[in-house]
Structure 1
Amino acid sequence: MAESPDYSVPAVDKALDVLEVLADREGGLTQTEIAEATGRSVSQIFRVLVTLEARGWIVRDRASGVYSLSMAAFDLAHRHAPLRGLLVAATPVMRDLAAEVRQSCNLAVLDGGAVRVVAQVESPADFGYRVRVGAAFPLASATGTVLVAGAEPELRAALIGEVDPDEVARIASDGSLRRDDPREPGIADMVATVRDVRGHARAALTVPYVTTSFSEADAERVRVLAVEAADAISTRLHPSRPPRSGD
């Protein structure tokens, strides 16, 4: 059996390795640290760093020699038409939701075998919980469970084994799920489905609900408002979409 041709480009591989490593390190890395993290020599990494810096993808602190990502990747992602349309539709609705419930909220989509946060609105209260834009979470999270359960049939079939069937069964008829966050005590994730024109999950709107003295709406009220906000985003995306069952 003939071997598949290798069309890989080593320089591109090195550049992507550097970007991925820096994306995971909030404080940045020196050239030596990048070489160690990517499993390459300093000389192999040097020209890649020079090129990425010249193209504006990374920045270097002159005093410390530490490299970090620039905003170029963030800008590129937001120029991607499908994501841009989603953010335009979602952002004002998310701001209104955060203001009404005085909690933060975030929007996430499926990204391969993970959940990726693409937007986040801060709580207007003095105390709240936030999730970093770009953060990745497992499919088994509450947000991932809602996205997988609501995905189009082929994608759902491919990913359904990654989520807890008992959690899928708990998803309400309105496409929402309320679940205590196993990693963050005191937080209950209120997740609602943003649907595409065919009724499948396009994104998930999550309110990480924190019970504090600033909480002006109880958890169930927040879940209902999250569902209403997700429906509003869906309508802004697709004004002619069919209503979800129960609308």
Structure 2
Amino acid sequence: MTGSPSTAGPDYAVPALDKALDVLELLASSDTGLSQAQIAAAIGRSATQIFRVLTLLERRGYLYRDAGTGVYLLSTMLFELAHRQEPLRSLIAAAQPPMRRLAEETRSSCNLSVLDAGRMRVVTQVVSPGDFGFQVRVGALFPVETTASGRVQLAFSGEGSAAAGHADLAEIRANGYLEHPDALQPGVTDIVFPVLSRERALAVLTVPYVATSFSERTSDFVRSRAAVAARQIGVDLLGGGS
């Protein structure tokens, strides 16, 4: 079973909803899609039990079935629902103009991520206008503890509490940013600044900087412009104007 039922509160069983959530959580972890039989086996149900669930989820737009293979895959419906939240919409709207300027000035891609259920989720990105650059998928999830964006989020989690007793987090907080080799991509250096409100990180702005013969700007220049962009996002988000 892919679901992990909460232990808090009364156990109000809703079998049909349980099955639907099991299906969604299972398909969220599949890159290639799964057949009805594979889904049934993975969540411990019979194919007959999940037929109506799959039909309903497909009709409501949460799933689609590949015409060639017959496998079920997640649509973008869940991602769309997440982006309907007013705080996230406001954040993305405030971030886009400074991020576009940053990408243009640095000739590098940049992305914005937020803390989501204990992981960092990329919520928007501006791709490098140059011929060469590194980018990530919007919606991608990354660990908090082992990524530069996650470490900055932890360092600025509020009133310095997360950084207390952790020298590396305290150093990040003191510096105001982190510049560190990417944990997953050799040759990429993450230049990361928090988007702050009252010293707390609302989001994290990352420039995945690649220093090669194709690079048009130095890391020092990128760092200075990223600092300006992160500060401007925070100002715009809180209604301070540009």
- Shorter-chain TM-score: what band? 0.7 to 0.9
* Deviation per residue, 1:150-170 (Å, 9 max, x gap): 1124xx75x669xx9343133
The whole-number CA distance in structure 1 between the counterparts of 2:111 and 2:82 is 17
Amino acid at match of 1:228: V
For residues 1-247 of structure 1, what are the structure 2 equivalents within 5 Å? Answer: 5-140=10-145, 141-153=147-159, 157=161, 165-171=166-172, 173=174, 175-196=176-197, 198-240=198-240
After superposing the two structures, state which structure 1 stretch, 211-220 or 164-173, moved more.
164-173
Q: What is the aligned-residue identity percentage?
A: 52
TM-align CA RMSD: 2.3
CA contact (8 A) 1:59 1:69 kept: yes
TM normalised by structure 1 equals: 0.85
Amino acid at match of 1:212: T
Q: Secondary structure at the match of 1:171?
A: helix
Report the CA distance shift for 1:106/1:43 in structure 2 as closer, same or farther (over 3 A).
Answer: same
TM normalised by structure 2 equals: 0.87
> What is the Cα deviation at residue 174 of structure 1?
5.5
**Which runs of no fewer than 5 residues in structure 1 stay unpaired?**
242-247
Q: Secondary structure at the match of 1:115?
A: strand
Report the CA distance shift for 1:149/1:61 in structure 2 as closer, same or farther (over 3 A).
Answer: same
Amino acid at match of 2:76: M
CA contact (8 A) 2:194 2:205 kept: yes
Amino acid at match of 2:205: L
Which residue does the alignment assign to 2:3?
none
After superposing the two structures, state which structure 1 stretch, 129-138 or 3-12, moved more.
3-12
> What is the Cα deviation at residue 81 of structure 1?
0.4
Matched residues, number: 233
Report the CA distance shift for 1:176/1:137 in structure 2 as closer, same or farther (over 3 A).
Answer: same
CA contact (8 A) 1:120 1:133 kept: yes
* Deviation per residue, 1:157-211 (Å, 9 max, x gap): 5x669xx934313315452111111321111111001012x23110000011111
